Chain A
Amino acid sequence: MTLSIAVEISVNGSKRRSSVEPRTTLVDFLREHLGLTGTHVGCEHGVCGACSILLDGVPVRSCLMYAAQADGCAVTTIEGLSRADGTPGALQDAFCETHALQCGYCTPGMVIAAHALLEETCAPSEAEIRAALSGNLCRCTGYVQIIEAVQLAAARKKEDGIGS
């Protein structure tokens, strides 16, 4: 009775083929089918941003998409922003440095949103950072140390750019 749809999605750089029910959301596909549990489910109606991923480089809510809609697309999850050995990447390290998290549940979505901003703007203003994070809710931090993390990551990126 259940239909299934074949999908091929590039996830964190590797091609993943699978067959999914039409009603399988992209976040459930990532978590349940691929075991990529770093992407979290918060509200399932597109407000909290915990499930944010990059779809062809753009941050989107993976709870508002079906897996079938991502067929042929490139998805980057939080796992894809770490270094190859699984340790924190530069932006993630900045989150650790400023203690930009507590329970960690919104953190993957926050990192995705901040990553997308820093890809677009190398020296974002505080207002730009706030706007970029405004689609991601955090109940632990009051956002202060998250904004500091993004500022730190931007500054470090700039230093590295000058140094290289």
Chain B
Amino acid sequence: MGSVPDLLGLGAAFRYIGKKRRTKEDPRFVTGRGRYVADVALPGLKHVALLTSPHASALIKRLDTRKAQAMPGVHYVLTGEEFCAATDALAVGVDAPLVKRWSLARGCVRYAGEWVAAVVADSRALAEDAVEAIQIEYAPTDCVIDPEQALLPGAPLVHPEHGSNVLYRRKFVWGPMEEDFGRAQHRLELKLRWARSATVPIETFGVAAQWHPGTGLLDVWASIQMPKFPDQTARALRLPGNAVRVHFDLDVGGSYGVKRGIKHTVLVGYLAKKLGMPVRLIEDRLENMRGGDMHGPDRSFDVQAAFDADGTIRSLKIRALDDVGAYAGRSPLQLGKPVGAIVGPYRIGSVEYEPISVLTHKTAQEAVRGFGQSPTNYAIESAMDAVARYLGMDRIELRRRNLIRREQFPYMIPSGTTYDSGDYHTVLDKALAAADYPRLLQQRDAVRKAGRLAGIGISTCLEPSGGNSAFEPLFNPKNETTTWMDSCLVRVDLSGAITGVMNTSTSGQGHETLVATCIAEVLELDPAGIRVVHADSLTALPSNSPVGSRMAIMLGGAAAGAAKKIKAALMRIGAKNLDCRVEELEYHEGSVRRKSGGRALSWDQLVEIAHRKFHLLPEGVEPGLQAKFVWEVPTGGMLPTPDGRIQMYPCFSFETHIVLAEIDPATGQPRLLRYTCGHDCGTMINPDIVHGMTYGGIAHGIGAALYEKFAFSDNGQLASQTFMDYLMPSAMEVPPVKIVDHCTPSPLTEFGQKGSGEAGYLGAPAAIASAINDALAPLGAAVHELPMTAPAIWQKIQQAKRRSSCVESSPG
């Protein structure tokens, strides 16, 4: 068993951590008093509407904005010609400098929905009116929509200057793959498809900006969740970093990875500065779906497994082809994160991994919850099920034989990442018990006996957490990023009240609660009295934003680290004023006292000394009472080896999903009847928050597995661009979910916590697919493409029926 580092002298007993406590954020939201970007009221605010491309690929032959410019209430019409000359192209995550991207197209368009011109007017309605008056002529050109076809010689090039549609391709081999495949008793191969879907927050992306000519400062309010966002905004606008002030105190209406409106922000920032007026752009839903650049991974897998008759998996080969659409920010890196969990939770000795990132004429891909890990988990788990089926072995037994055992941690996988801790067998056993697995089998078989289709699904998956962005140097040798720090400032004011300052925005993760709880734990004071505020980007300490399931680890750790510095200062003040050494003192709920009894100094007295009585301060203790703590991701600081091995993320949460699904044989409509999730993310700071994110992740996974798809026509038109076509689970589709907690603390973090922001989503699609295929197995049918929609399942049922009737009617 791992143990919590006892840095606090608290032992395993926590005062506030892990306890049922209300969050700090909820009261303002339930009363409608959140402050989102669309609520930012700036006097004289102007509004942007966009002209977007109806073609997937076309040359812009003529663009005439004069009529629009003359419309009532219109202040400006901006085109790509002006904009691209006046700003720098946005950053590309891999080494592909000629795949240039600006907010507005210039000369040609590369996907349907791409922004071509922006109108600024007194109201959004007037701006939309003017958009309709812009005169534009296109000459459509050949487009490529299918990623496999995009690889073929002669395919239309999305960025001809780049010379190819391949953005990134490398074949990694870790461990004795050839030998393992040669020695294994069996092999099988599997093709899988993960459809393009996204988290689709209910709030679209929005940004407002205001330029102050007197100070040369651009104020930005954005519904953002993006690392290095202020820096990238400033660079693109050719401004120094200290000329852009991003207000992180804005509430963000959901993100789960996708709220990365850098192109929106550079556009609006440019307009605000040029016009000297506050300007905002709030995407409408159509703009969000087509041109918001928030689609997730769009991936096909070829998986080969080499295994023995006893179920031991020796080796895997995975080819992953990911369609990033027409432009690349960080999206190709979503093939990089899975390197750190490429064998899942299993003892697999070698791997060949070939990630291929390809450009097509589709909406640009962006980061989605899990950053590419959930599709890969689906591929690994599908292979596990296929092996079990091939061998006629129980799927759970197969997993038990291959799961890393708890005494093997810390455990290094072939790609160079060490898993910190885990107890996978126990979590699996607890989940099976909670699901009442024997009864679940009976229930499935009873449904089958009644002539309907039913199946049980299982997955055992990892959530790498504590994002360190190590895929940047792995996928781009010119990038030497080895730190992905986060920070916290803790202040105690003269009244003795505590304020924690965090340095990024929040999109529902409860960071204010997290910071307050961690400070409270260290200082032994009630978190209810601790206020947490968000700095703006000019007053902020370094942060890399809440990506990569990292804030419980990184922000929680930073808050605790700063609080410990406060505590250390109080102890030194106590030592000087109680005439003893620090070692003779103990800290108790804000006061400092001699262990031997007798004199003590209360919190108020200590604070008074710190703020007013320099003559009573020990040498070297700063007056006032504040402390900052900046720390690097645990295990960080390493560049990849030449063969591409690296420590990707420090902490590994584990989840197992057990699902009972039923399929209506007449329609193919799937329904989830029972759902159990066993979850181990180490120490939970706030269980309600962790459970909430896990439930939400499962719902999101249900969507990805069964309903959600950005479907494109052959000529590149997005067919599912409204909520009538892009179907998200409602309360009717998400079944009751039972979560079973387990705690294997991380030895690397302050309180033993691991990440949980992607929980549920990382195992749900795999388990649901497993359940659907178990239901179809008696027919000899299977679906290897997500989403497993009712029509897709129905077709498989029909094909199976035709096959069986052919067999029955064939002579002999």
Residue positions of A touching B, CB distance < 8 A:
1, 21, 23, 31, 35-45, 47-48, 50, 77-79, 81-82, 86-88, 92-93, 95-99, 101-108, 111, 126, 129-131, 133-147
* Residues of chain A contacted by B203 (CB below 8 angstroms): 40, 42, 50, 103, 105
- Closest CB-CB distance, B707 to chain A, in whole Å? 12
Cβ–Cβ contact B695 & A144, under 8 A: yes
Cβ–Cβ contact A104 & B689, under 8 A: no
Cβ–Cβ contact B251 & A38, under 8 A: no
- Closest CB-CB distance, A63 to chain B, in whole Å? 10
- Closest CB-CB distance, A111 to chain B, in whole Å? 6
Cβ–Cβ contact B34 & A47, under 8 A: no
A/B interface sample: 18 pairs, CB < 8 A: A35-B41, A37-B32, A37-B39, A38-B33, A44-B284, A45-B723, A78-B32, A82-B31, A99-B692, A101-B26, A102-B693, A131-B731, A139-B700, A142-B692, A142-B699, A143-B730, A145-B688, A147-B731
Give the residue name and chain of the A residue nearest to B23 (CB).
A99
* Residues of chain B contacted by A38 (CB below 8 angstroms): 31-33
Cβ–Cβ contact A130 & B731, under 8 A: yes
Cβ–Cβ contact A133 & B731, under 8 A: yes
Cβ–Cβ contact A47 & B722, under 8 A: yes
- Closest CB-CB distance, A146 to chain B, in whole Å? 7
* Residues of chain B contacted by A77 (CB below 8 angstroms): 32
Within 8 Å by CB of B32, from A108, A135, A139, lies A108
| 6 nearest A-B pairs in the assembled complex, by CB-CB distance | A38-B32, A104-B29, A103-B508, A105-B253, A102-B508, A142-B699
Interface residues of B in 460-508 (CB under 8 A from A): 507-508
Cβ–Cβ contact A45 & B285, under 8 A: yes
* Interface status of B175 (Cβ within 8 A of chain A): no
CA distance A104 to B510 in the complex (A): 11
* Residues of chain B contacted by A82 (CB below 8 angstroms): 31-32
Cβ–Cβ contact A105 & B202, under 8 A: yes
* Interface status of B529 (Cβ within 8 A of chain A): no
Cβ–Cβ contact B26 & A99, under 8 A: yes
* Residues of chain A contacted by B22 (CB below 8 angstroms): 96-97, 99
Cβ–Cβ contact B510 & A139, under 8 A: no
Are A104 and B28 CB-contacts (below 8 A) given A130-B732, A144-B736? yes
Give the residue name and chain of the A residue nearest to B284 (CB).
A44
- Closest CB-CB distance, A112 to chain B, in whole Å? 10
CA distance A107 to B8 in the complex (A): 38
* Residues of chain B contacted by A134 (CB below 8 angstroms): 730-732
Within 8 Å by CB of A141, from B204, B252, B284, B692, lies B692
* Interface status of B666 (Cβ within 8 A of chain A): no
Total A-B Cβ pairs within 8 A: 191
Are A42 and B202 CB-contacts (below 8 A) given A86-B33, A96-B26? yes
- Closest CB-CB distance, B485 to chain A, in whole Å? 25
* Residues of chain A contacted by B734 (CB below 8 angstroms): 142-144
Chief secondary structure at chain A's binding surface: loop
Within 8 Å by CB of B31, from A44, A86, A147, lies A86
Cβ–Cβ contact A88 & B724, under 8 A: no
Within 8 Å by CB of A44, from B285, B688, B695, B728, lies B285
Cβ–Cβ contact A99 & B689, under 8 A: yes
Cβ–Cβ contact B508 & A104, under 8 A: yes
Residue positions of B touching A, CB distance < 8 A:
22-23, 25-36, 38-39, 41, 72, 125, 199-204, 251-256, 282, 284-285, 507-510, 688-689, 691-693, 695-700, 722-724, 728, 730-732, 734, 736-737, 760
CA distance A60 to B72 in the complex (A): 33
Which residue, A40, A97, A140, has most C-beta atoms of chain B within 10 A?
A: A140
CA distance A7 to B251 in the complex (A): 32
Are A142 and B696 CB-contacts (below 8 A) given A44-B284, A48-B202, A77-B32? yes
Are A137 and B695 CB-contacts (below 8 A) given A78-B31, A101-B29, A111-B30? no
CA distance A96 to B22 in the complex (A): 7
Within 8 Å by CB of B760, from A21, A102, A142, lies A142
Are A103 and B251 CB-contacts (below 8 A) given A92-B30, A139-B201, A141-B696? yes
CA distance A77 to B32 in the complex (A): 9
Chief secondary structure at chain B's binding surface: loop
Cβ–Cβ contact B728 & A137, under 8 A: yes
Are A145 and B202 CB-contacts (below 8 A) given A77-B32, A103-B251? no
Give the residue name and chain of the A residue nearest to B732 (CB).
A134
Cβ–Cβ contact A40 & B36, under 8 A: yes
Cβ–Cβ contact A140 & B254, under 8 A: yes
Within 8 Å by CB of B253, from A95, A97, A103, lies A103
Cβ–Cβ contact A95 & B696, under 8 A: no
- For the complex with contacts A142-B698, A143-B699, 20 further pairs of A-B residues with Cβ separation under 8 Å are A37-B35, A38-B33, A41-B38, A42-B202, A43-B285, A79-B32, A87-B31, A99-B692, A101-B26, A101-B508, A102-B254, A102-B509, A102-B510, A103-B201, A103-B251, A133-B730, A137-B723, A139-B696, A142-B696, A144-B695
Cβ–Cβ contact A43 & B31, under 8 A: no
CA distance A97 to B254 in the complex (A): 21
Cβ–Cβ contact A43 & B731, under 8 A: no
Within 8 Å by CB of B72, from A1, A92, A108, lies A1
Within 8 Å by CB of B724, from A37, A45, A108, A140, lies A45
CA distance A69 to B18 in the complex (A): 50
CA distance A41 to B201 in the complex (A): 12
- Closest CB-CB distance, A19 to chain B, in whole Å? 15
* Residues of chain A contacted by B689 (CB below 8 angstroms): 99, 102
Cβ–Cβ contact A104 & B285, under 8 A: no
CA distance A131 to B730 in the complex (A): 9
- Closest CB-CB distance, A39 to chain B, in whole Å? 7
Cβ–Cβ contact A102 & B696, under 8 A: yes
- Closest CB-CB distance, A140 to chain B, in whole Å? 5
Cβ–Cβ contact A105 & B201, under 8 A: yes
Give the residue name and chain of the B residue nearest to A91 (CB).
B30
Cβ–Cβ contact B724 & A101, under 8 A: no
* Residues of chain A contacted by B737 (CB below 8 angstroms): 142, 144
Within 8 Å by CB of A96, from B27, B285, B700, lies B27
* Residues of chain A contacted by B688 (CB below 8 angstroms): 98-99, 145
* Residues of chain B contacted by A43 (CB below 8 angstroms): 202, 285, 722-723
CA distance A107 to B41 in the complex (A): 21
Cβ–Cβ contact A50 & B202, under 8 A: yes
Cβ–Cβ contact B27 & A87, under 8 A: yes
- Closest CB-CB distance, B265 to chain A, in whole Å? 20
Cβ–Cβ contact B28 & A143, under 8 A: no
Are A107 and B30 CB-contacts (below 8 A) given A143-B699, A145-B691? yes
* Residues of chain B contacted by A108 (CB below 8 angstroms): 32
Cβ–Cβ contact A104 & B251, under 8 A: yes
Within 8 Å by CB of A137, from B27, B202, B691, lies B202
CA distance A106 to B724 in the complex (A): 18
Are A79 and B507 CB-contacts (below 8 A) given A104-B251, A142-B734, A146-B731? no
Cβ–Cβ contact A39 & B32, under 8 A: yes
Give the residue name and chain of the A residue nearest to B256 (CB).
A139
CA distance A5 to B625 in the complex (A): 59
